[in-house]
Amino acid sequence: MTASIDLNCDMGESFGAHRIGDDAAMMPLITSANVACGFHGGDPPVIGATLALAKAAGVAVGAHPSFMDLYGFGRRRIMGERPEDLKAQLVYQIGAVKVMADSLGWPITHVKTHGALGNMAAEDPALAAVCVGALRAVDPTLALVAMPYSALMRAAEAAGVTVVCEVYADRRYADNGMLMPRGLAGAVIHDPEESLRQVLSMVLDGHVPTVGGKRLPVSADTLCIHGDTQGAVDIARRLRDKLDAAGIAVRPFRLPFHPSPEDRPCSA
C-alpha cells in the first residue's frame, strides 16, 4: 500500500493592511487549509478570499480558531478565561468560517486550534474538553486536527469526534510527545534535510523522534507546513519534491473515518 499524507497550512492570517504569508503561492502546494477566523489573524474579506482561493485549487478547508489575541497573533497564553466564555468565542469563530464557506459551496471539513490555545489544550484536559465541545456545538461531523499524545486528541476520541492526527516537519518533539516550546533553542528545525528525515520517520516508519532519543509510535494523517515563516513557499515546494521522490502520495485526509483507539498508536 502506498504511503500517503495530507499537507495542511495555516492560512488567511492577513488582516487590514497587514499581509502575513503568501497564500496564493502556497495554495497549489498543499491539500488542506486552516483558515484564520479573525481572532489572531484574518478579517471577513481575507477569510472569503482565502476560501475562494482554496475552492479554485481544490484544497480542503477548515476553521482555525484561537484565543482573542490579535495583538499577539494568538501565541500568548491567555489564562483565566471562563470555560463558557471561551466556548462562546470558539463557536463564534468556527461558525463564522463555516457559514462563509457554505455560502461559496465549499464546506469546511475540520477544525484546528491555533497557537497558544492548541498548545495549552494539548496538555490541559479541561481546556481540551471546551475546544471539543465548541466543535460539537457547531457541527459534530467536523473532524478535529490534533497532535498525537495530546489531551485534545483524547478528548475528541472520548466524545466520538473524528480525529486527524497531525505531525510537524519543522518542530522538534519532547519525550512526552509534545512540541518543544518555540522559545527554547533548537525547537524549530531550519535544515530542510533534517526536516525531511523527521517526516520520513513519522510517515514511513511510524515513529516520532524526540530530543531525548525516544521513538514514539504514531499514525500520521496530516503534516503541518507553517505559511508565515520566512521562505515557507520554497520550503513547501522542496518538501513536496522530496515526498514524491520517496514515493509518498500527497492527498487530503479522507472523511469520515472513525478508527478505534487501539488502531491508533498516537492516541496512547
- Rounded CA gap, 29 and 59, in Å? 9
Q: Can you give the pLDDT at residue 167?
A: 95
Measured in whole angstroms, the distance separating CA 55 from the mean position of its chain's CA atoms is 19
- How distant, in Å, are the alpha carbons of 44, 83, 171, 183, 190 from that of 224? 24, 28, 10, 19, 15
Q: What percent of the chain has pLDDT over 90?
A: 65
6-15, 125-134, 255-264: range with lowest mean pLDDT: 255-264
- pLDDT (0 to 100) of residue 255: 59
The confidence score (pLDDT) of residue 162 equals 95
What domains, with CATH codes, occur in the chain?
A: 4-267 (3.20.20.370)
What mean pLDDT do residues 108-123 have?
A: 95
State the pLDDT at residue 28. Answer: 94
Residue 264 banded pLDDT, cuts 50, 70, 90? very low
Kindly state the average pLDDT of the residues 91-104: 98
C-alpha dist (Å) from residue 149 to 3, 43, 76, 89: 22, 33, 22, 26
d(CA 26, CA 53): 11
Q: What is the C-alpha to C-alpha distance for residues 177 and 266, in angstroms, rounded to an integer?
A: 9
Whether pTM exceeds 0.95: no
**55 near 27, Cβ under 8 Å?**
no
| pLDDT band (50, 70, 90) for residue 107 | very high
Weakest-pLDDT range from 7-11, 63-67, 172-176, 235-239? 235-239
pLDDT in tens, 210-259: 989 999 999 999 999 877 766 778 888 888 888 888 888 899 886 554 33
Handedness of CA 93, 96, 99, 100 (dihedral sign): negative
